Structure 1
Amino acid sequence: MFESAELGHRVDKAAYEAEVPELRTQLLDAQFDLLESAGFAVVILVNGVDAAGKGETVKLLNEWLDPRHVMTRAFDAPSSEEQERPPMWRFWRALPPKGKIGVLFGNWYEGPINARVEKDIKQSELDQRLAEINRFEQMLTREGVVLLKFWFHLSCKQQKARLEKLESDPLTRWRVTRADWRNYKQYDRRHDVAEHVVRHTSTAEAPWLIVDGSDERYRGLLVGQTLLDALRKRLDVAHKWQARVSTAPLPPQLDERNLLRQLVLDQPLDKKDYNKELERWQGRLALLTRSKAFCERSLVLVFEGMDAAGKGGSIRRVTAALDTRQYQVVPIAAPTEEERAQPYLWRFWRHVPRQGKAVIFDRSWYGRVLVERVEGFCSEADWMRAYEEINDFEDALIRAGAVVVKFWLAISDEEQLARFKAREVEPHKRHKITDEDWRNREKWPQYERAVCDMIDRTSTEAAPWTLIEADNKRFARIKVLRTICEQLESAFDE
């Protein structure tokens, strides 16, 4: 796949100097059009052979563009904080917001390539990681990101000559390290692994551009012109652009049976038994989260349910058992301006806990397939693809050691009405009832259908949904605590 990049492409000095002024002007114009429209972000991935001009080319782009609006990140070996979270966590945090350009060195390709070159992972594991990367990049492009992937290439002979030239100059000698020469000695193996990676991740949405790194003027013009063309192409259709996603029709409902209607929502539990069970399960949860086994795990709790279903009360009984330094409660409402400028899952990735910590989501990423679906805040294509993206997100959390526990608190229409009326007359609860809550009752059937679809599509073997019969608040709180304890104990036994 690298044959064309070994032809020795060249641009002479006169032609280069004639083209650069106009290219710089157009790039700046396009960059400020991007900034003004803030309709999409640009992510540039820089990968390839050592000494192929990656750093020089990015430095050149920063000279040609306004660097205030270019976010350049270089990733080294992950820190201890990063190692305690899923591998993609640090890359999610580095994504540029809409209107900005992000340049990522040492990005999500670096780790899998190095691991395979060093034989730390098998070919099958590399292919699994590449499939995950393809889905991640597909998600980015469907969110509107312009994703440009540049692979800078040199032949083995060219790389050796380039390293020797850099090393012979006192001004550039520092740029050549032992690792560079070690990688050179592995050139053939790195070439084979890179070719496999490029071939399996060059997709219609995010193709690789192979850059001949032997001539600085050629590679600079090629990268600059490619970036300009991509910016102009998207800016020209900015208001008309739409991700090309096809969706299958939803299955028809042929009877009145569904998961929620099969629940017996009013489960008995008197106050005396409740107090005993509460002490028992809170104590058990306290011990589990203070155990040595939990130091190598994290806990992610997801609370969803109809309005007034008792999410807040259940969360308070959970946090009462935890060390206050150990957990964070994240209430999810409408996204902020900062959050709207990023891919949908970004605001949830930023709250992923370290090992030994817990995060509790009072509503969550499932808003896309619930309220956004029912209220029409996103397209059908957006919420239909969200099921797969959510499953991938939770799989990443679990592979990194998180125990993911998801609750749907279910109440009857009649019980919700009674709780709404009670809130209106209790001074300390009036803030918990709004006009929107009353309006949402009119869409009960639509929400019920959305919930059942959500459970069917996202209740996985690793992160199943637990349905909580919540007409009796005491029963619901105990079932929540018991479920958390049982899932933690199951994870510790693995």
Structure 2
Amino acid sequence: MFESAEIGHQIDKATWKSTVPQLRTDLLDAQYELKEQSRFSVIVLISGQDGAGKGETINLLYEWMDPRFLSTLAFSEPTDEERERPVMWRYWRALPPKGRIGIFAGSWYSNPIHERIAGTIKQAALDARIDQINRFEQMLVNEGALVLKFWLHLTKAGQKRRLKALEKDPRTAWRVTKWNWERLKTYDQLQEVAGHVLRMTNTPWAPWIIVAGEDDRYRSLTVGKIIFDALRARLADGERSSSPVTPPIQPNIDGRDVISELDLTQKLTRKQYETQLAHWQGRLSELVRDPRFKKHSLICVFEGVDAAGKGGTIRRVAAAMDARQYQIVPVAAPTEEERAQPYLWRFWRHVPRTGRVTIFDRSWYGRVLVERIEGFCAEADWLRAYSEINDFEHELAQAGAVIVKFWLQISKEEQLKRFKAREQTDYKRFKITDEDWRNREKWDDYHRAVCDMVDRTSTGTAPWTLIAAEDKAYARVKVLRTLCERLSAALEGKNPAGVGGKGKKGRQ
């Protein structure tokens, strides 16, 4: 894979001087058009061997382009804050918005490669990370991003020559440390591991570009021209690149589904409610204060039919915890800042660190519900969202998060009764809007969308719990009990899907 970069590529001074001015002009023009269109972001990964010119290449791009619309993200060892969240959290936070170019000096590839060389992860774990990376980059491309991945390559002898030359020059000597010379000893290991990673992640949607790094002029012109050509081609192409990532929706043959089979008649008496509410609130309070919870986080997702009682249920859950320990995130239409990023970006921002709780009042499932029904996104977008959501939740669970997802369901008749009651109660009028009435007219469409959502995203690590919410008392206690059972199972190291997962336990 590196053979073509080892044949001694060079550019002479005359060619350099005659080529650079036009290339700089072209890059600036393309960059300004990118900013003006703001249709997509550009993600540039600069990776490779020590001494291959990664820093010089980034500095040159800043010299050749307008730095106001560039951002450079450098990643080293994770901070304590980053270690307490999923591995990809810090990269999600660094993604450039549409209209800008983000240059990653060190990226989601760095740690897996270094860990494998150091022997801290096995081959199977590395391959699992590779699969995660491929799906992440596929999501970026499907969201519209242009992803350019450069690997600046040196032969072993070339790397030694480069380090000596840098060390000899007073202006660059500071770049070479004892650590760089120690790393030279692992050259062969890096070649083996990096070669495997690059082969496995050299995808049609985000291919690797291997550039010989020993000659500065060749390396700089190659990277600059490839960025310009890719940017110009994408600016001229009005269509967004995408690839199918999910099978089609299956038809419902007999009319039975997870919603129609819910028993909405379940109720609690006043006395039962007060007794059980106090019990499960107390139990939840104990669990989130358990020392073992410091290795976990709790993510609660509340979705449901309008007027099903999400707000009241959330208040009962929050009442069991210290306000300093939890955050409630109400989800509405995305802001301009959020629309300039991949869909899941705004939810990654609110991922809790270990020992904390985040409650989502509506969530990332809006893409496969309201955005699907109202036509706010293309069919290809909401279809691929199922697998992207599953990947997102899998990453959260891998990092120790306990994900508990609730769908609160009431009948159409009960919803009408609650709508009218809200209109007639002064302090509840804010809860009923014209949008609620419009959504009611699409009851059947939402019913089908919910069933598809549950079928495609109720996984072993993050199962859906469907709540019969016709009786608010029953629904609140059921939610609290499920939270306690799931959290208790996680603290004891049991399968989180053992409670509230598939089958009858998940449909109550």
Give the Cα separation in 2 of the matches to 1:71 and 1:78: 19
| Superposition deviation, residue 291 in structure 1 | 1.1
Indicate the residue corresponding to 1:102 in structure 2. Answer: 102
**Mapping 1:19-168, distance limit 5 Å:** 19-168=19-168
Give the Cα separation in 1 of the matches to 2:407 and 2:75: 39
* AA partner of residue 20 (structure 2): V
| Superposition deviation, residue 179 in structure 1 | 2.0
**Mapping 1:285-300, distance limit 5 Å:** 285-300=284-299
**Mapping 1:235-384, distance limit 5 Å:** 235-238=235-238, 240-245=239-244, 248-384=247-383
Alignment deviations for residues 292-323 of structure 1 (CA, whole Å, 9 cap, x no partner): 01111101000000100100001000000111
Give the Cα separation in 2 of the matches to 1:334 and 1:420: 22
| Superposition deviation, residue 273 in structure 1 | 1.4
| Superposition deviation, residue 242 in structure 1 | 4.8
| Superposition deviation, residue 264 in structure 1 | 1.1
Whether the 8 Å CA contact 1:247–1:381 is kept in 2: the answer is: no
| Superposition deviation, residue 246 in structure 1 | 7.3
Give the Cα separation in 2 of the matches to 1:231 and 1:465: 42
* AA partner of residue 147 (structure 1): V
SS of residue in 1 equivalent to 2:34? helix
Give the Cα separation in 2 of the matches to 1:386 and 1:426: 38
Query: Which range moves more in the overlay, 152-161 or 262-271?
Result: 262-271
Give the Cα separation in 1 of the matches to 2:471 and 2:182: 66
| Superposition deviation, residue 178 in structure 1 | 2.3
SS of residue in 2 equivalent to 1:361? strand
Give the Cα separation in 2 of the matches to 1:185 and 1:246: 41
SS of residue in 2 equivalent to 1:353? coil
Give the Cα separation in 1 of the matches to 2:142 and 2:246: 13
Q: How many percent identity over aligned positions? A: 61
Give the Cα separation in 1 of the matches to 2:392 and 2:250: 25
**Mapping 1:437-456, distance limit 5 Å:** 437-456=436-455
Query: Which range moves more in the overlay, 264-273 or 30-39?
Result: 264-273
| Superposition deviation, residue 256 in structure 1 | 2.1
Whether the 8 Å CA contact 1:51–1:163 is kept in 2: the answer is: yes
**Mapping 1:201-240, distance limit 5 Å:** 201-238=201-238, 240=239
Indicate the residue corresponding to 2:479 in structure 1. Answer: 480
| Superposition deviation, residue 482 in structure 1 | 0.4
**Mapping 1:358-437, distance limit 5 Å:** 358-437=357-436
Give the Cα separation in 1 of the matches to 2:483 and 2:249: 33
Q: Which runs of 5+ in 2 are unaligned?
A: 494-508
| Superposition deviation, residue 243 in structure 1 | 2.4
Alignment deviations for residues 235-287 of structure 1 (CA, whole Å, 9 cap, x no partner): 1013x335243764422222221111111113120112111111111111011
**Structure 1 length-normalised TM:** 0.99
Alignment deviations for residues 423-457 of structure 1 (CA, whole Å, 9 cap, x no partner): 00000010110111111111111101110111111
| Superposition deviation, residue 30 in structure 1 | 0.4
Give the Cα separation in 1 of the matches to 2:340 and 2:95: 10
SS of residue in 1 equivalent to 2:266? coil
Whether the 8 Å CA contact 1:409–1:470 is kept in 2: the answer is: yes
Whether the 8 Å CA contact 2:300–2:358 is kept in 1: the answer is: yes
SS of residue in 2 equivalent to 1:262? coil
Alignment deviations for residues 91-137 of structure 1 (CA, whole Å, 9 cap, x no partner): 00000000000000110000100010011111111111101100100
Whether the 8 Å CA contact 2:141–2:241 is kept in 1: the answer is: no
**Structure 2 length-normalised TM:** 0.96
Whether the 8 Å CA contact 1:266–1:470 is kept in 2: the answer is: no
Whether the 8 Å CA contact 1:46–1:151 is kept in 2: the answer is: yes
* AA partner of residue 302 (structure 2): F
Whether the 8 Å CA contact 1:408–1:467 is kept in 2: the answer is: yes
SS of residue in 2 equivalent to 1:120? coil
SS of residue in 1 equivalent to 2:148? strand
Whether the 8 Å CA contact 1:469–1:476 is kept in 2: the answer is: yes
Whether the 8 Å CA contact 1:44–1:103 is kept in 2: the answer is: yes
Alignment deviations for residues 197-227 of structure 1 (CA, whole Å, 9 cap, x no partner): 1110000000000010011111110000001
Whether the 8 Å CA contact 1:274–1:478 is kept in 2: the answer is: yes
Indicate the residue corresponding to 2:3 in structure 1. Answer: 3
Whether the 8 Å CA contact 1:329–1:362 is kept in 2: the answer is: yes
Alpha carbons of structure 1 residues 292 and 76: separation in structure 2 relative to 1, 3 Å: same
The two structures, once aligned, show a CA RMSD in angstroms of 1.0
* AA partner of residue 380 (structure 2): A
Give the Cα separation in 1 of the matches to 2:253 and 2:243: 31
Give the Cα separation in 1 of the matches to 2:214 and 2:179: 20
SS of residue in 2 equivalent to 1:325? coil
Whether the 8 Å CA contact 2:245–2:387 is kept in 1: the answer is: no
* AA partner of residue 2 (structure 2): F
Alpha carbons of structure 1 residues 460 and 248: separation in structure 2 relative to 1, 3 Å: closer
Give the Cα separation in 2 of the matches to 1:447 and 1:189: 54
Indicate the residue corresponding to 2:198 in structure 1. Answer: 198
Whether the 8 Å CA contact 1:5–1:153 is kept in 2: the answer is: yes
Give the Cα separation in 1 of the matches to 2:267 and 2:188: 69
In the alignment, structure 1 residue 457 sits paired with structure 2 residue 456: yes
Whether the 8 Å CA contact 2:245–2:384 is kept in 1: the answer is: no
Whether the 8 Å CA contact 2:41–2:98 is kept in 1: the answer is: yes
Indicate the residue corresponding to 2:504 in structure 1. Answer: none
Whether the 8 Å CA contact 1:5–1:210 is kept in 2: the answer is: yes
Whether the 8 Å CA contact 2:246–2:386 is kept in 1: the answer is: no
* AA partner of residue 304 (structure 2): G
SS of residue in 2 equivalent to 1:300? strand
**Mapping 1:7-18, distance limit 5 Å:** 7-18=7-18
Give the Cα separation in 2 of the matches to 1:266 and 1:186: 67
* AA partner of residue 80 (structure 2): S
* AA partner of residue 158 (structure 1): G
